[in-house]
Structure 1
Amino acid sequence: MDPSSAWENFLEAIAALMSKALTDKETEKVIAGFNNFQQRLQRLSSQNLLRMNLEITAREKRVSNCKHDGKTCTQNVTRGFFKTWLIGYIVKYLIGVLPAILTGKILKNILKRSGGNDTVRFAFFLSSFLSAYKGVLCMMRYYRPDHKGDRLNAFVAGSVAGLTLLLDKNKNRRTALTLYLFTRSIQFGSSYLMKKWAEHRDANRAADRQALMNSSNRGHKGKFVSERRWDDILAKIMTSSAATVVMSLTAAVNLYSCFLEPSAVRKSYWNFIMEHSGLPQKFGPMFPPMVDTFRSQFNVLKEMPRDVLTGEFARAVKMYGTLNFIVTLVFQRKKLATEPKEVAYRYIRSTLRSCMFLTVYVLAAFYVPCWMRAILRKETAFTYLFNGIVSGLAVLIEAPGRQMELALYCLPRALETTWNLLLNRGLVRNIPHGDIALFSASMGVMMTIYQNDPSVINKHYLTVLTRIFGRN
């Protein structure tokens, strides 16, 4: 039976009963009231059904926006937390004990200390960071179901997750993590801008070709459009020289500080540079005073080129030989079993190139100032900037794929050194929790690019990010 006819029959039955107790005029008023009630009930029912339908549709849209197939948002966050905590604890523990294992100094207190409170807190920070990102990203998608794309969602999620750096109480590690991620956000952001610039150039070129074709069809002589425009040439120069420029600038800052203001550079980096110079090995306890003498007398280190070429190359072989051997075993063990000669050849070639790079870098860092003083016959601050610029050119010896990585390895130290130099001159001042703000902003940028434009991230880092953050 039709609902409307059933309702009318019901009203007629009520009216028949009422007619026995009420007058005709009163009965008409009652029936009119029932009719008004019927109309209001129908309107409310239609609105409720429409609202319920919209809510169900919106809920379906919200669920479909997330990409963690087979898991609810809660499961995705919870599993990510416990999985990351376990992996973070194991990795941090191994980093603490591996040097002792490799040197044969496996002591009980080292094994116990490596798995102590610092390791637990670091693992808790990592797991909180990852689960916060996943949770906030799902929440943003839930409350913004009609927005296509994840740019704002990913930026907010990454920025909020970055606040978990407060859980890590190790200040040096916080600074290192902040500078590293800030450097990577610059790299990924620059790659994104270069991609958009390339798309803009392609669009302009296509528009010029179309305009030329239209002009030719109308019988007009069009101007020939070159496939290579000035902005294409500029983009190629920027892309090919970026690693060299970054390496030279970072080397200039770091070496300037090492020689003139060592308090501004991190002590570990200063020790690394001086150790590879061979000065501590040559002068022993007299090494610290020799640094000042080096800046004032040319004849003290007149045999520096020979010492570097012989001593530093041997030190570089020891460092890069061990490092490349471990990398080869970890990442190419399958290929090592099938193509041992090819792997061995690439290992030797890569090691020799890296050793030559570091040898030339150190040679320029310590001998160019002597050469500059011999030419200028005076001591200038520019001398210790110029030697860094020349040292940075040594990166051209390395394989093209490693040049930018080496430059980005030095960039965080140069940024920290630059900030310390500015602090020493009173030009800036430290901001409370500034590292947290920078870390959050860097994570926001990185996650925005990772979620929306992963093609601009190189394959190696994209694989790492995918393994860490997964599909969200």
Structure 2
Amino acid sequence: MAFLSKSAFSSFAKSEPPSPSPQATPPDNNSNNNNISAEDRLREAEDRLREAIEELQRRQRRNRGLHEYAPPCEHADESCIAHAIGNLCQTFLLSYGVRVGIGILLRAFKLARRQSYSSLLDLKQLVSEKDLIVREEACRIGLLFGGFTGSYHLLRCLLRKFRKKETPFNAILAGSVAGLSILALDDPSRRRTLALYLLARLGQCAYNSAKSKNKFHLWGSHWSHGDSLLFALACGQVMYAFVMRPESLPKSYQDFIQKTGPVAKPIYKAVRDSCRGSPIDVVSLSAYLSNSKASSSLKIQEFPSIIPCSMIHPDTSSCLQHNARAASATFRKTFPLYFSLTFVPFVVLRLQKFMDSPARTCWLAVKGAVRSTTFLSSFVGIFQGVICLHRKVAVKDHKLVYWLAGGFASLSVLLEKKARRGELALYVLPRAGDSLWYILVNRHFLPDIKNAEVALFCLCMGGIMYYLEHEPDTMAPFLRGIIRRFLASRITNPPPSANRTASYVYLQNLEAAEKPKLLESSNGTEAPASEKLNLESIPGL
């Protein structure tokens, strides 16, 4: 570095602190002034040295060509295209494996429930296309996640080269464009649900970011059970929609609630017609009740004011017994699902931990599945209990009862861990938002925009990727861990680049050395002059 001025090094020489005397002497004004002037000279020398190194870097880039002005990519050992394709394939295989693994495990539980244990060893029955229809769905999920990851990496590299700089706008634009991979899902309702889920997560990140900067604070966010309150509001909307507006929920979600609960479809339809003041379908309701024990004593009216408990649970006259049976049946039906959702992702995404301690992994999966299944069973029991209690004290039905029943049933979320309650609330919230969106569009309060969920998903992914790379602490640990491991493991954990020069490393070390000084000055504590002016404490000198 021949262009470094001699005055810079002379400043270093002049700023060397005097050796401390063996006898302590009280400081005077002259010594304080000398220390301050020496510190100023040292800071001036550091600034000149930094400017000289930056000038050297600019000359090196100019000599290498214009394309070297772009910040270096983090994958020095492979090209940008190879890096993107590698991430695409890796994420595709991970997501495909998780979906197929869950399907196989659920199929195994189904065979075991039939007590056909020998068929568990028969691959033809276990993984046949006739009984295990997951190939198309697994491929679509793999294309969604893999396509997003690969295109995101490629777009980041292109923006880095064409814009000649690395800014937050690169992450936002790349995430938004890569979000078009949502088109791999052919069901608009699933795309809308996923977009609303990301919208809720983006709102969480934005709020945490504003709160950390003291820019905005939502009233009630410090409540210890604020997540449970949010879950209650979302569950109220979902259960109201299931009873009164089932078409506003995705078909798969309707089927899940219907199979989990103990009440048949004809009963829900009769309740819906009764609340709206419409005539009920006497023929279909009579056909359903004809197989019950109390069918002879039931009198079906065309315009009933309320559907009695004797029709809701015709097999038993005791509401308490009915609710207990409902909770028990829900536990048996949903335990295989929760165990699969807990066990398979852990094995696929954390294979090394599973190989180290398989017994502990199985125990944690069983423990988590039992806890989650107990929560869902209690939800069903409380929901049915509120409906039966209303029929004991009221003579006329109202649609608001089912909203309140969903809210009261959500108290069962207190059985879950504190960290999981917020995740459950943000999982159910998009379902409630999806239902509310459909109802408002159906009533012409909102315009029906085609593919609006695709645009919303793209915008949300742009925001999510910004917070992931620039403000990761604002994201929930669960979501941040999933994205890092499942979607973008190479984005947030880049390897050290091999093409960074010594001057670049020196600048980074010099800036790191200045941070403690700024921290000390902000805290109001002043270090001794011998520590401030010690040239050996500066990296590289």
How far apart, CA to CA, are the structure 1 residues paired with 2:477 and 2:254?
A: 32
Q: Which has the larger displacement, 427-436 or 258-267?
A: 258-267
Judging changes above 3 Å, is the alpha-carbon distance between structure 1 residues 126 and 55 closer, same or farther for their aligned structure 2 residues?
farther
CA distance in 2, matches of 1:450, 1:85: 21
Alignment-mate amino acid for residue 258 of structure 1: F
Residue of structure 1 in register with 2:327 after alignment: 312
Q: Is the contact between residue 109 and residue 336 of structure 2 (CA under 8 Å) also seen in structure 1?
A: no
Q: Decide which of 417, 441, 446 is 1:423's aligned counterpart.
A: 441
8 Å Cα contact 2:327/2:377 also seen in 1: yes
Opposite residue 326 of structure 2, the aligned amino acid is: G
Whether 1:188 aligns to 2:205 is: yes
Q: 3-state DSSP class of the match of 1:426?
A: coil
The separation in 2 between residues aligned to 1:84 and 1:77, in whole angstroms, is 11
Aligned with residue 459 of structure 2, among 436, 441, 446: 441
Equivalent-residue separation in structure 1 for 2:355 and 2:149 (angstroms): 31
The equivalent position to 1:244 in structure 2, one of 224, 228, 231, is 228
Quick one: distance in 2 between partners of 1:60 and 1:265?
Answer: 53
1:168 Cα deviation from its structure 2 partner = 4.1
372, 379, 383: which is aligned to 1:361?
379
Given candidates 255, 258, 267, the residue that maps to 1:274 is 258
Unaligned 5+ runs, structure 1 = 1-49, 202-230
Letter in 2 for 1:446: I
Q: Find the partner of 1:403 among 421, 440, 447.
A: 421
CA distance change for structure 1 residues 390 and 170 in 2, over 3 Å: closer, same or farther? Answer: closer
Change (3 A) 1:448 1:264: same
What pairs with 1:313-328 in structure 2 (closer than 5 Å)? Answer: 313-320=328-335, 323-324=338-339, 327-328=342-343
Note the C-alpha offset of 1:319.
Answer: 2.0
Give a deviation string over 1:371-421, Cα, whole Å, max 9, x none. 345556543333222222212222122111211122222122112111121
TM-score calculated relative to the size of structure 2: 0.60
Q: Does 1:386 align with 2:386?
A: no
**TM-score normalized by the length of structure 1:** 0.68
How far, CA to CA, are the matches of 1:232 and 1:51 in structure 2? 51
1:110 matches 2:130? yes
SS in 2 for 1:110: coil
In structure 2, what is the Cα distance between the partners aligned to 1:397 and 1:319? 16
Deviation at residue 432 of structure 1 after TM alignment = 1.5
1: CA distance, partners of 2:126 / 2:476? 38
CA shift, 1:322, in A, is 5.9
Does the 8 Å CA contact 1:313/1:356 hold for their aligned counterparts? no
Moved more, 119-128 or 265-274: 119-128
Q: Report how many aligned residue pairs link the two structures.
A: 379
Q: Measure the CA separation in 2 of the matches of 1:303 and 1:430.
A: 46
Q: Residue 250 of structure 1 aligns to a residue in which SS? A: helix
Asked if the contact 1:68/1:471 (under 8 Å) is kept, the reply is: no
CA distance in 2, matches of 1:59, 1:294: 72
Evaluate the alpha carbon distance shift between residue 317 and residue 85 of structure 1 in structure 2; reply closer, same or farther with a 3 A threshold: closer
Residue 129 (1) aligns with residue 148 (2): yes
Q: Which is helix-richer, 1 or 2?
A: 1
| Paired residues of 1:73 and 1:138 also in contact (CA < 8 A) | yes
1:150-299 alignment, distance < 5 Å: 150-197=167-214, 235-237=221-223, 240-280=224-264, 287=267, 291=271, 296-299=306-309
Deviations 1:40-76 (A, max 9, x none): xxxxxxxxxx999547487545243x33353343332
What SS does the aligned partner of 2:398 have? coil
Contact 1:97 1:111 in 2 (8 A): no
| Cα pair distance change 1:70/1:96, threshold 3 Å | same
Structure 2: state its 5+ residue gaps. Answer: 1-57, 112-124, 276-305, 348-352, 492-541
Deviation, structure 1 residue 438: 0.7
Counterpart AA for 2:130: I
The change in CA–CA distance for 1:61 and 1:320 in structure 2 (over 3 A counts) is farther
Say if 2:326 and 2:380, in contact at 8 Å, map to a contact too. Answer: no
- What per-residue deviation string (whole Å, max 9, x for no partner) do you get for residues 295-318 of structure 1? 613443573333222331342255
C-alpha contact (below 8 Å) 2:202/2:464 kept by paired residues? yes
Which of 473, 479, 491 aligns to 1:461? It is 479
Bigger radius of gyration among the two: 1
Distance across 2 between alignment mates of 1:142 and 1:133: 14
CA distance in 2, matches of 1:129, 1:196: 31
